[in-house]
Amino acid sequence: MPYEWVESEVFMTYRGIEIYHIYKNDFTDSGVRDCWYSLNSAGSDNDPHGENGTFDHRELSTPPCGGDGIPWVIKSAIDRGEPQQLLGEMWFDDLEPTQEENEE
């Protein structure tokens, strides 16, 4: 049976950056990875951390407290510019301001 490529589902969007799910063995029927995400819809289960926009949220430095789990870890990392440092190919010059930055 032939396979058809489908764009990965968006896990979350923050400050204009879309974070996509990574699927086990790149098959949507196999379900999403619990810890791996991508900064683009073509991220693959075969991509190591830091390549092709793919990252393991456990590799991001986590602030000491707070938040709503994985989305909070990723949001905090984006605010610190961490994905840009880890994934040198990805640049966040056009980040949308946070609510706090808008209030200033």
Model pLDDT for residues 49-80, shown as the tens digit of each residue? 777 778 888 888 776 666 678 888 888 888 88
C-alpha span between 47 and 56 (Å, rounded)? 11
**Closest to 25 (Cα-Cα) out of 6, 41, 39, 46:** 46
Q: Would you state the structure tokens that stand for residue 69, as one six-digit string?
A: 């789990």
Res 11 pLDDT > 90: yes
**What is the domain count for the chain?**
1
If you average pLDDT over every residue of the chain, what do you get?
Answer: 77
**Residue 29 located in a structural domain:** yes
**Residue 19 located in a structural domain:** yes
**Residue 3 located in a structural domain:** no
Looking at residue 78, what is its pLDDT?
83
| Higher per-residue pLDDT: 50 or 89 | 50
Res 87 pLDDT > 60: no
**Residue 100 located in a structural domain:** no
**Residue 42 located in a structural domain:** yes
Looking at residue 31, what is its pLDDT?
84
Q: What's 29's DSSP letter? A: G
**Closest to 92 (Cα-Cα) out of 70, 77, 104, 102:** 77
State which residues form the domain around 39: 10-92
| Residue 14 CB contacts under 8 Å (≥ 6 apart), including other chains | 71, 74, 75, 78
**Residue 27 located in a structural domain:** yes
**Residue 4 located in a structural domain:** no
C-alpha span between 32 and 17 (Å, rounded)? 19
